[in-house]
Structure 1
Amino acid sequence: MTVVEPRLTLERRLLREHTLVIACDEVGRGALAGPVAVGAAVVDAPRSRKRVPQGLRDSKLVPELRRHDVAARAASWVAASAIGWASSQEIDEIGIMRALGLASVRALADLRRQGVVVEDAIVILDGNYDYISPAGEWALTIRPVIKADRDCASAAAASVIAKVARDDLMTDLHDELPAYEWARNKGYASPDHRAAIREHGISRHHRASWSIAEAPTLF
């Protein structure tokens, strides 16, 4: 399989018309347990002229043992970064798409607290659906881009920064509830995770509506 190295081609083109590019990417969307996270990474004109950090890829393509190092270099490379979260309870209450919008708004709010004028930016959003605008926090220019985390260095940075933070959180939660093996499966629907749900039921960190569907004989 040929590995595509993310570039700054789109970012440089967009920076001709916008002061900033903010790339957003989600992690944890398909998990049965734990929050969803949206990473946001800011690239300005000076960063767009710098070399992309070595090894930066969509987080799914970075070996787990190298992710912390790659994420640290990505965070140092971008002008600013942030992570927004939506809890498993919020996902159950409002649905996954609205939860992604909520997490995105929280990431963007964090950037504002860091001094980033988000209204001056164009937002590259990985995927084909704009879940940020319906959150309605600010009037932003959103550009969904399919495979942005593969092709755009800013989105790859957002992806790996968020992935490392969420994986670390799930590893910490594993220490609280080791039966679910979250240090290994990070809350996704692996066979060991499904088996633990069938044996122990769901925890307060599970997305109840999703996890019950995975083990209907319990309920």
Structure 2
Amino acid sequence: MDYFEKMYYGRDYRRIAGVDEVGRGPLAGPVVAAAVVLPRDGIKEKLFDSKQISSKKRELLYETILSEAQGVGIGIIGQEEIDRINILQATLKAMALAIGNLSSPPDFILIDGPHGITLPIPQKPIRKGDQLCNSIAAASIIAKVTRDRMMVECHQKYPQYNFASHKGYGTKEHRRAIEKFGVCELHRKTFRGVKEYL
């Protein structure tokens, strides 16, 4: 999982950030990206793609990453902007914001997925990067826990949708709630499964 970090540290880069996002597919809520700079020798816990571990394990790793990382940045793009600029552009913008919110800028970026970010920093997009690269896996955990916590808070305002359970994804329960209650301000109005109920 540290192949890419070792390769680019071997090319004299000194501060490498992994970047990932969570929330491209949901029908409601923001897309959240995180950028993480791990210590050069990694952290004590084994990292995994956030989708492959339990929420309890994610929470534990989240705290470990926050305490041991050399830098963590978060970027959040809300549902209104997602509707305005589309989910791909919103994702890339959230990633750029996450990089910008690091305490010190990186000199190299490892990105989950096939797309680069419009920043004047050398970078490497990596398909399935969250399964291949420690710093991207760490970013996926930070982004996932951050977004999940936001959606639990949204549940307090809109309990009828049960956002605390499905986090805005298009589950049967969520789709039934949209049919019954209509859409709320958190829903992505341009997404199939929502726009039909406007």
TM over 0.5: yes
Q: Distance in 1 between matches of 2:60 and 2:159?
A: 26
Match for 2:5: what amino acid?
Answer: E
- SS of the residue corresponding to residue 30 of structure 1 reads coil
Give aligned-pair identity as a percent.
Answer: 32
Q: 1:12 to 1:209 in 2, by over 3 A?
A: same
Q: 1:141 to 1:216 in 2, by over 3 A?
A: closer
Deviation by residue 1:103-131 (Cα, 9 ceiling, x = unmatched): 112112211xx2x133xx1111101222x
1:10 is matched with 4
2:54 to 32, 57, 63: 63
Q: Distance in 2 between matches of 1:196 and 1:38?
A: 27
Alignment of 1:125-140 (within 5 A): 125-130=111-116, 132-133=117-118, 138-140=119-121
Alignment of 1:1-219 (within 5 A): 7-17=1-11, 18-43=13-38, 47-50=39-42, 52-111=43-102, 114=103, 116-118=104-106, 121-130=107-116, 132-133=117-118, 138-210=119-191, 213-214=192-193, 218-219=197-198
Number of aligned pairs? 197
Q: Work out whether residues 25 and 169 of structure 2, in 8 Å CA contact, stay in contact via their aligned partners in 1.
A: yes
Match for 1:91: what amino acid?
Answer: I
Shift of 1:48: 2.1
Q: 1:101 to 1:215 in 2, by over 3 A?
A: closer
Shift of 1:217: 5.6
- SS of the residue corresponding to residue 160 of structure 1 reads helix
Unpaired segments ≥5 residues, structure 2: none
Unpaired segments ≥5 residues, structure 1: 1-6
Q: Distance in 2 between matches of 1:189 and 1:146?
A: 24
RMSD: 1.5
Instruction: Point out the structure with the larger helix share.
Output: 1
Q: 1:76 to 1:217 in 2, by over 3 A?
A: closer
